Amino acid sequence: MDTLYGRNKEEHPEPIKAEVQGQLPTWLQGILLRNGPGMHTIGDSKYNHWFDGLALLHSFTFKNGEVYYRSKYLRSDTYNCNIEANRIMVSEFGTMAYPDPCKNIFAKAFSYLSHTIPEFTDNCLINIMKAGDDFYATGETNFIRKINPQTLETLEKVDYNKYVAVNLATSHPHYDSAGNVLNMGTSIVDKGKTKYLLFKIPSSVPEHEKKKSCFKHLEVVCSVPSRSLLHPSYYHSFGITENYIIFIEQPFRLDILKMATAYMRGVSWASCLAFNKDDKTWFHFIDRRTKKEVSTKFYTDAMVFFHHVNAYEEDGHIIFDVIAYTDNSLYDMFYLKNLTKDFEENVKLTSIPTCRRFVVPLQCDKDAVVDSNLVTLPSTATAVKEKDGSIYCQPEILCEGIELPRINYDYNGKKYKYVFATRVQWSPVPTKIAKFNTQTKEMLQWGQDDCWPSEPVFVPSPDAKEEDDGVVLTCVVKTDPKDPPFLLVLDAKTFTELGRATVNVEMHMDLHGMFIPQQNMKTETE
């Protein structure tokens, strides 16, 4: 097990031809580009947490029925600094780094001061984002790194903070129909306020400014004040419908004062994140046209969630689906000390991921009776009016045991049927992938012995008529490192195997990524 999670993986910057079995659709042309941690030991130093590892990009390129694999470490400033020193020099969320143990007392005091508002890492290991014609590796700090999706080469570093006052930003942006990027970030104690900002990166810049980047035209759409100045909520994603942005302020919070003293106290920033099970989870709905928040207060019980699935509007209601937990045991699972050989048997989540559907009546009757359920759609989800006018929401449970959800993105923000996800029960290791029908609750699964699949990515066929016309791609790692990994291609409709592309390398377990169709690629030469 430690071989799969903890062991450093070699990079393969030159394309390796995969052995293809079965029949891949001829229309499948482009690059599946994915991101995740690949190196956890540098010299004698080790990261504490799997999510801290150095970013390793990898890709499968589909070209006329052939498939080529390559992988390359993101050459972030963090990577270069660590490799040069042959030890961990830059702190990550779960690992505090102490670069120079033998500084004198004055230098030490100064070092402590400079760490109170830390210079965050640019080890962007979570996802891939498209902005304009360019692609970026993303993490959750204010830094992203431009990359070449064909060669996996690392290009310039972009600091969101130069364009918008955020210290943290999500790795799950949304894209509107014009290709603009919408993302959210947290602005910590800026001008005495802590707030969550929604910002837009335009997909193109005016003709006469062609040399400028689209970030120069970044605009703040609106802001939501944090309920607490020094305890902002942690969030990994947000939701979007045709007319609204959905932001969930969960009682899973960063303690800013603790973060400021973490370096001196010799603890990681992760230890400054706490879940309060007795607190409420607040829902914020921002009108995309007026850029104002809906004034009614909506809330539910305490929960921890990372991934929104999808959201849409129907008859005056907002319906949104999230994968949620009743505690924060998921993050703790992935400390490398827990990822030992018998991990799958020994380490169990204390809360199983559940796909929860909330149905929120936006146009609720002001004269509605207290304690009455305001949901008028057929659903077991409820929204009950309280004495103070706030609305207490309880979800319908759609299913249990799925994570890393993906949809046909053409249906993002619209009424939809299908979720493609990894199947996880009490162990956080995905052993299967699933296609779940939110309407009939039917679930199709793919799994094989000793196989750990990654987040499934749906690719629509060019002449798609229905939501599930297309293929699902997933990178499959074998539990025995001597067995070669493969890329699996499933027919999205039937969830049966069309083909696989096997590569004789040791592939890492990754997090997120995207498929870039051939026509979306700049035609620069390799």
Are the C-beta atoms of residues 368 and 375 closer than 8 Å to each other? Answer: no
The owner of tokens 């169990």 is 348
Task: List, as one string, the DSSP characters of 465-487.
Answer: -STT-EEEEEEEEESSTTSPPEE
Residue 105: both structure tokens together = 């007392």
User: How far apart (Å, rounded) are the C-alpha atoms in residues 432 and 446?
Assistant: 6
Task: List, as one string, the DSSP characters of 246-296.
Answer: EEEE-SEEE-HHHHHHHHHHT--GGGGEEE-TTS-EEEEEEETTT--B-SS
Q: Is 217 annotated as a binding residue?
A: no
* H helix or E strand, kind and range, residue 501: strand 497-502
Could you tell me which of 214, 220, 69, 53 has the C-alpha nearest to residue 139?
A: 53
Helices and strands, number each (H, E), in the chain: 6, 39
What single DSSP character describes residue 4? H
Residue 168: both structure tokens together = 């943290």
The CA angle 412-435-405, to the nearest 5 degrees, is 50
Task: List, as one string, the DSSP characters of 370-434.
Answer: TT-B---SSSS-EEEE-TTS-EEEE-EEEEESEEEEE--GGGTTS---EEEEEE-SSSSS--EEE
CA 112 vs CA 48, 107, 242, 264: distances in Å: 21, 9, 47, 6
Q: Is 512 annotated as a binding residue?
A: yes
Q: Is 307 annotated as a binding residue?
A: yes
What single DSSP character describes residue 116? T
What single DSSP character describes residue 336? G
Residues annotated in a binding site: 172, 236, 307, 512
Residues annotated in a binding site for Fe cation: 172, 236, 307, 512
